[in-house]
Chains A and B, each alone.
Chain A
Amino acid sequence: MKRILVGLMIMFAAITDAAAQDTTTVEAMLRNKVDEALTILRAPDQDMDQKKQAIVAIVEPLFDFPLMAKLVLGKKHWTSLTPEEQQRFETLFVERLKSSYIDKIDLYRDEQVAWKPAIAEGPNKVRIPSAIVSRNEEITTAYKLYRASRQWKIYDVEVQGVSIVSSYRSQFDQILTSGSKEDLFRELESSSQPASPAPPSAE
């Protein structure tokens, strides 16, 4: 009997962890992770940098960053890079994406996350709409996940209907259409530039 129970447990673990998840399970998984992150965020008197680290540790495995790096270039531009350049691009882009995500953590105040039912977009894709609700407004967001070999992974995020991947796609397309690969890497490496422009005298 004990062996059967152990067997059942393993089976259950295998099923929940695996591609056998249906959209409701994906939704529950994502909700859990986001709830975990929010709990950390709301914890009083804790160092912000520690909080950020803990949140990134929870959120990071949910994203398929290498796939996102490919998608923002698109097949046309991605295949025009050498394997070394692809690797370099992936590293730089993923770094940029993560740091922009971490920056957003600072903006958090007392917002709640409201979930809406997941929408299956074909057998291997799901869209999970949600909203960030604060005291005076509601920002609609959506997570887009696909069925990877072992689990569902996020490949795009939408904020107010604006897809992050689409947005980067048109920017990189612009850079590579009107410029060169060197321009692309220069733009990516200068990511830590200040948000405000230089004083007018420097122009």
Chain B
Amino acid sequence: MLSRNPQRKIRQWLAAALGLAFIATTVPATAQDDPFADLDSQFETRQPQIADPLAPWNRLMFEVNDRLYFYLLKPVARGYKAVVPEPARIGVRNFFTNLEAPLRFTACLLQGKGQQAGHELSAFVINSTFGVLGFFAPARLEPALNNLPEEDLGQSLAVWGAGHGPYLVWPLLGPSSLRDSVGRAGAYFLDPFTYVDPSEADLIASGVDTVNATSLRLGEYEALKKDAVAPYEAMRDIYVQYRQRQVEQ
């Protein structure tokens, strides 16, 4: 069937190519005859798990925190938002984030992330000085220092092989696990406010931090709750998935 007519050759080649393209469209690649089976087993094996033997307590605390949010935190944060302009609130957030640098630095070291620890240190120095005590975050302009993963001691424990243990919901603090609660307790000693006199300063600082952070996130909890069919389970699952990713980073 070889022809000397180049046009015909091209046409034959085209026909073959078209045929192939057609086969590619109609015959899906292998294993996709039932995408459900394939993807279902993927989700089944990756489904995050956490033991919840304290579910009655946790559910109660979930309700308590829910009420605290709607009746206390949200109205206060809204009032604060009305008075304090956004750039100032972002500044306040930067300030608190900067003060957590010792914690992140330590958590990095404990995970053997030397380079990242160095980045944390550089960002802390730059933000504390050029960033006027951390209210501005000029270190973010440097790509290597921008969006550093937020390390904490719970993640360090995870890297050492500690599992979550039971799920725990704390009043005011929200979802946690035994492991992450231990990490949190350790973080207390790395928080500069712990060492400030008078000791009430620590409480006031966490109050301001919480209200300020909430003012920048109004509507998010509401959206989460609205999307959920089972809010308590949704929150628990989101917590576990989110922590999982943080540990992997």
List chain A positions with a Cβ less than 8 A from chain B: 3-4, 7-8, 10-11, 14-15, 17-20, 67, 70-71, 74-75, 100, 103-104, 107, 123-124, 135-136, 138, 146-150, 155, 160-163, 165-172, 174-175, 187-188, 191, 193, 195-197, 200
Contacts and interface: CB of A to CB of B under 8 A. Distances in A.
Given A71-B39, A161-B246, A196-B70, A10 B18 contact: yes
Nearest to B222: A195
Contacts of B11: 3-4, 7
Contacts of B161: none
Contacts of A165: 43
Contacts of A10: 18
A119 B17 CA distance: 28
B191 interface: no
Contact of B29 (A147, A175, A196): A147
Interface residues of B, number: 55
A91 B178 CA distance: 40
Contact of A148 (B10, B32, B40, B236): B32
B241 A14 contact: no
21 contacts: A7-B11, A19-B24, A19-B28, A19-B29, A70-B36, A75-B40, A75-B44, A104-B223, A107-B219, A107-B223, A146-B32, A155-B35, A161-B241, A161-B246, A163-B43, A170-B233, A170-B234, A170-B236, A175-B229, A196-B222, A197-B67
B229 A4 contact: no
A71 B40 contact: yes
A174 B35 CA distance: 24
A118 to B, nearest CB: 17
B113 to A, nearest CB: 18
B39 A149 contact: no
Given A100-B226, A195-B222, A4 B24 contact: no
A174 to B, nearest CB: 4
B141 to A, nearest CB: 14
Contact of A146 (B35, B47, B71, B244): B35
Contact of A171 (B18, B38, B228): B228
A146 B25 CA distance: 15
Most buried by B among A19, A172, A200: A19
Interface of B is mostly: helix
A171 B35 contact: no
A49 B73 CA distance: 32
A162 B32 CA distance: 25
Nearest to B49: A170
Contacts of B147: 138
B237 to A, nearest CB: 4
Nearest to A187: B229
Given A100-B226, A103-B226, A155-B35, A74 B43 contact: yes
Contact of A15 (B21, B44, B223): B21
B17 to A, nearest CB: 6
A147 B37 CA distance: 14
B40 A146 contact: no
Contacts of B66: 197
A14 B230 contact: no
A150 B40 contact: no
Contacts of B237: 162, 166-167, 170-171
